[in-house]
Amino acid sequence: MPNLIFFMTDQQRWDCIGRFNESIHTPAIDRLSAEGITFSQATCQSPMCAPSRSSMMFGYYPSQLGVRTNYGGLFDESRLPSEPLPELLRQAGYQTAGFGKTHWNHSDGVEQPSTRGFEVRAIGLSRESGHYEHGAVMIGDDAPEALAAYYRETASFGGGEENANGYKGLTSQIPMEQHRDGWVAEQALKFLDEGTDAERPLFFYLSFLKPHAGFNVPKPFEDLYKLEQIPDIPQPPWLDEPDTHLFASDAIHEQSLAHYREKREVWERMSAEERKRTTLRYWANCSWLDHYFGRALDKLEKLGRLDYALIVFVSDHGEMLGERRYRFTKYNLYDSSVRVPLILAGSVIPKEKRGTIDDRPAELADLVPTLAKAGGLPENPMLPGSDLLGPAVKRGSFCEFHGKGGSAPHSGPAYMWRTKEWKLILYIEGTIREAAARVGEARGELYHLTEDPNEWTNLYGQPAYAEIRERLKTELLMHLACSWAKGPFFYSRDGVKPLL
């Protein structure tokens, strides 16, 4: 069985790797791209952490799991719809070592929240953060002074480090290894030096909290960039969000709208140079994490763990980074939020595929089928995803959005169906409570991505595009119908044989 290496970042845009942006410094990721397959059209299944990561690790879509916002989670270990990826691989005989963020959201009120298959675990948060897993080494216990220093430096960044100060950022005065991600990386590197089991294949998971805001960046990585070489943020020809799913979400999520307006007011007063500083720090965060991926790859290579290996690099969703009139974070179905970098590399990649770009639709939900097959596990035919190294070709990729959640109600659902050329978004205004009675009022967006990559011109209501619109609607409907007809629960006298 090959060693399985899983590198992950939080909120890294699809275009913030060297393969798609020659101005960004990501040599380790570029090495993976040069030696593997880069999926240029990959998307997440939800534009926020908890549902995206749950979907990725269980292999089902957010609505199949019931985890639709960052306030959701699968809390009851006895009622999981399937085994998560680390547990699947542990049962297959892998040594499973997980370092950094999972965002399972499953520890509140649980005395011993499960690691869900990880035998070795380190998390760059405090035990009281809501993300503790039983037996995990936590930075809050191991290095409380470092965590306290980090929180002092980011005290003005607000909740989630996502207010205007968090996005403006600063040059960090904290040593790199005392950052939360730096501590996680050092724990992972120490494990590679001292903790691997030579008798078993390795599943090594290294997942960081950044480049997600806030942007308190170590100086060596800021110094990789020159401000005059950073592009300004492209803006649409309109001042206010038009009649879109994002406008509909704003209408019922007052707190989220207030946060947007606060940042917009700040950014509208900025000079172009000040705006570029935010982009520079975001890029610098990407370069900093890439530095740690490079160090891990070097150690894995010296251990011989790359001689027979499959390596994944991915992020959970993107970042708007000031687009659409100074929108930041994610929480919408536009490409800057839903497209993700996705690379499969390693010695198991056929030689003729190495260094290639794959333009087929790809989804994060495809990772469980892909890694399970590579690890010699039997196929789970209930999953909606497919093996990315196999011949299967999807018509498009799917993503869903139910509002930001939290104290506000869930929005009526917004569903995306995306091909390389086209994107369809269907949504209904208002809350989910009343949506079923108003399905006749469904709205839509249609974008010709090859001609309008910024998604500024909605073609949904134009008669000239009616045939394309209806074809994409049908594909979306049948894709969901087929996916939900299979799982996550399928009861038959023949088990899952009817799905094979």
Helices 27-35, 272-302: axis angle to 10 degrees equals 60
**Is residue 145 packed enough to be buried (19+ CB in 10 Å), middle (13-18) or exposed (0-12)?**
exposed
Contacts of 470 (CB under 8 A, 6+ apart): none
pLDDT on residue 408: 67
Torsion of CA 38, 40, 42, 48, to 10 degrees: 100
pLDDT on residue 436: 85
Domain that holds residue 9: 3-235+272-392
Lowest mean pLDDT segment, chosen from 233-247, 262-276, 428-442:
428-442
Give, as one character, the DSSP assignment of residue 138: E
Answer yes or no: is pLDDT of 148 > 80: yes
> Helix, strand or coil for residue 465?
helix
Answer yes or no: is pLDDT of 277 > 70: yes
Nearest of 468, 414, 406 to residue 46 by alpha carbon: 414
Q: In Å, how far from its chain's centre is CA 288? A: 18
Q: How far apart are CA 279 and CA 262, in angstroms?
A: 18
Q: How far apart are CA 79 and CA 50, in angstroms?
A: 18
Indicate whether 455 belongs to any domain.
no
- List, in sequence order, every beta strand (DSSP E) within 212-326: 216-218, 309-315
CB-based contact 213:105 (threshold 8 Å): no
Q: How far apart are CA 243 and CA 245, in angstroms?
A: 7
Q: How far apart are CA 263 and CA 322, in angstroms?
A: 9
The domain total for the chain is 1
H helix runs in 361-422, sequence order? 367-374
Q: What mean pLDDT is predicted for residues 214-220?
A: 97
CB-based contact 176:218 (threshold 8 Å): yes
pLDDT on residue 407: 63
What is the residue-averaged pLDDT of the chain? 96
Q: How far apart are CA 375 and CA 451, in angstroms?
A: 41
Contacts of 358 (CB under 8 A, 6+ apart): 37, 38, 39, 40, 388
β-bridge pairing 3-10 and 95-100: unpaired
Indicate whether 358 belongs to any domain.
yes
Indicate whether 176 belongs to any domain.
yes
Q: How far apart are CA 147 and CA 150, in angstroms?
A: 5
> Helix, strand or coil for residue 51?
helix
**Is residue 421 packed enough to be buried (19+ CB in 10 Å), middle (13-18) or exposed (0-12)?**
exposed
Answer yes or no: is pLDDT of 254 > 90: no
pLDDT in tens, 394-442: 899 999 999 987 766 788 999 999 999 999 999 999 988 888 899 999 9
Q: What mean pLDDT is predicted for residues 74-87?
A: 94
Q: How far apart are CA 463 and CA 469, in angstroms?
A: 10
Q: How far apart are CA 214 and CA 168, in angstroms?
A: 8
Q: Residues 492, 496, 498, CA angle at the centre, nearest 5°?
A: 80
Q: What mean pLDDT is predicted for residues 384-394?
A: 91
Q: In Å, how far from its chain's centre is CA 63? A: 17
Contacts of 452 (CB under 8 A, 6+ apart): none
Answer yes or no: is pLDDT of 393 > 80: no
Q: In Å, how far from its chain's centre is CA 394? A: 20
pLDDT on residue 1: 95
Q: Count CA atoms within 13 Å of residue 333 on its CB side.
A: 29
pLDDT in tens, 347-377: 999 999 999 999 999 999 999 999 999 999 9
Indicate whether 458 belongs to any domain.
no
pLDDT on residue 355: 98
Q: How far apart are CA 391 and CA 383, in angstroms?
A: 17
CB-based contact 147:139 (threshold 8 Å): yes
Q: What mean pLDDT is predicted for residues 39-67?
A: 97
Answer yes or no: is pLDDT of 302 > 80: yes
Q: How far apart are the first and last CA of the chain?
A: 24
Read off the pTM: 0.97
pLDDT on residue 331: 96
Q: What mean pLDDT is predicted for residues 197-214?
A: 98
pLDDT on residue 253: 87
Total length of the chain: 500
Indicate whether 112 belongs to any domain.
yes
Q: How far apart are CA 60 and CA 368, in angstroms?
A: 9
Indicate whether 357 belongs to any domain.
yes
> Helix, strand or coil for residue 7?
strand
**Helix/strand number for the chain, H first, E second:** 17, 17
CB-based contact 282:216 (threshold 8 Å): no
Q: What is the CATH number of the domain that holds 180?
A: 3.40.720.10
Q: What mean pLDDT is predicted for residues 476-496?
A: 95
pLDDT on residue 213: 97
Indicate whether 460 belongs to any domain.
no
* Residue 157 CA: distances (Å) to CA of 70, 147, 316: 19, 15, 22
pLDDT on residue 263: 96
Q: How confident is the model at residue 279 (pLDDT cuts 50, 70, 90)?
A: very high
pLDDT on residue 198: 96
Q: How confident is the model at residue 392 (pLDDT cuts 50, 70, 90)?
A: confident
ω into 220 cis (within 30 of 0): no
Contacts of 157 (CB under 8 A, 6+ apart): 163, 165, 166, 213, 214, 216
Indicate whether 258 belongs to any domain.
no
Q: What mean pLDDT is predicted for residues 271-295?
A: 98
Element (DSSP H or E) covering residue 209: strand 202-211
pLDDT in tens, 341-350: 999 999 999 9
